[in-house]
A = this chain, B = another copy of it.
Amino acid sequence: MKKIGVVTTGGDAPGTNAAIRAIVRTAHSMNLETVGFQRGWEGVMSNDSKPLTPRSVGGILQLGGTILHTSRSREFETKKGIRKAAKTLSQTGVDGLVVIGGDGSFRGACDLSKESNVLIVGVPATIDNDVYGTDETIGFDTAVNTAVAEIDKIRDTAISHERTFIVEVMGRNRGFLALTAGLTSGAEIIIVPEIKTKNETIIQTMRENQRKGKKSSIVVKAEGAGDARALAREIETRLGSEVRISVLGYAQRGGSPTARSRLLASLFGNKAVDLLLKGQDNKIVGLQNGQISTLSMEKSCHTTKPLDLNLLLLANVLAT
């Protein structure tokens, strides 16, 4: 092992740069060179890369986004694209590749792994936290805090106007962000894609809350869990209270990473290089039971990470 590559693919997550820094500096301490591929799989397929040194990753620890840029590549989703990437990789002289990204990135990496001799290790970074094999992904804690800070502000307005707010957070298929942000911001109701929540139940809860003297409510909803407008209309019609909708957008993807996202990024990046040096292939690193761990990338790709429904029950109790 003499040279490794790094690529960031899929949606960006705060802490990705911290992971790049950890990979480059760990590699350097092990006498490995590192190159960074630009713009995700695009850069791998076209060998658009640049050397990364301990100095060139200085001052990026605290920056959101990714200095390597990222993209979603249609071409790479095809058999042909995968082969192209495998071929290029073999020409670049890298012996190992660290793929920083989410679920989709690892599926691509699995496919690439079958066509390539280069060792491939995955570092889970996504604000969705939906990667099986790690309790937490890089960027999740930052996104949760960003969402909570916004919801705290919205609550000021909700209380002052005695209104209901439906706050939509990111999460097309999964509700990790909605659940954690909802619980920690004290949302009265949390709606996740994993569980069918009847509008009837929501209306019922809000009615009880009114009886208890609550004059404003915050509903935190994952974007993929039903239609905010329809729900708003139903609440307004049936409870006679004003409802406003706030969609927390792409800001959830950016910003300076929290200490925890930086810590995970540092530990994961360091471990990924360690795995490559040990000749491991097709693995992802993760945090399991509070410990840095590894898992087969195949297994991670083909297993759905369960949502902790106890947290949802707890949220209901605490929002009493």
CB <8 Å contact, A250 and B157: yes
Within 8 A of B (CB), among A19-76: 21-22, 25-26, 28-29, 39, 54-55, 58-59, 61-66, 69-71
Within 8 A of B (CB), among A233-252: 244-252
Q: Is A314 an interface residue, CB under 8 A from the partner? A: yes
Total residues of chain A contacting the partner, CB 8 A = 82
Chain B residue with minimal CB distance to A146? B153
Most chain B CB atoms below 10 A, which of A62, A246, A253, A318: A318
Complex interface bits, A251-292 against B, C-beta within 8 A gives 1, otherwise 0: 111111011101100110010000000000000000111110
CB <8 Å contact, B71 and A162: yes
**CA distance in complex: A250, B167 (Å):** 10
Known A144-B259, A270-B318; contact A154-B249, beta-carbon cutoff 8 A: yes
Q: What B residues does A54 contact at CB under 8 A? A: 212, 320
Q: Is A159 an interface residue, CB under 8 A from the partner? A: yes
Chain B residue with minimal CB distance to A290? B290
Chain B residue with minimal CB distance to A8? B160
Known A12-B157, A12-B161; contact A184-B259, beta-carbon cutoff 8 A: yes
Write the nearest CB–CB distance from A254 to chain B, whole angstroms. Answer: 3
Known A152-B256, A254-B153; contact A317-B135, beta-carbon cutoff 8 A: no
Partner of A153, one of B26, B29, B255, B319: B255
CB <8 Å contact, A267 and B157: no
**CA distance in complex: A21, B181 (Å):** 17
Given contacts A64-B156, A152-B256, 13 further A-B contacts (CB under 8 A): A14-B156, A55-B213, A62-B152, A69-B159, A69-B162, A70-B161, A153-B251, A157-B250, A184-B263, A184-B266, A247-B247, A248-B249, A270-B318
Interface residues of A (CB under 8 A from B): 8, 12, 14, 21-22, 25-26, 28-29, 39, 54-55, 58-59, 61-66, 69-71, 135, 141, 144-146, 148, 150-157, 159-162, 165, 180-181, 183-186, 212-214, 244-256, 258-260, 262-263, 266-267, 270, 287-291, 314, 317-320
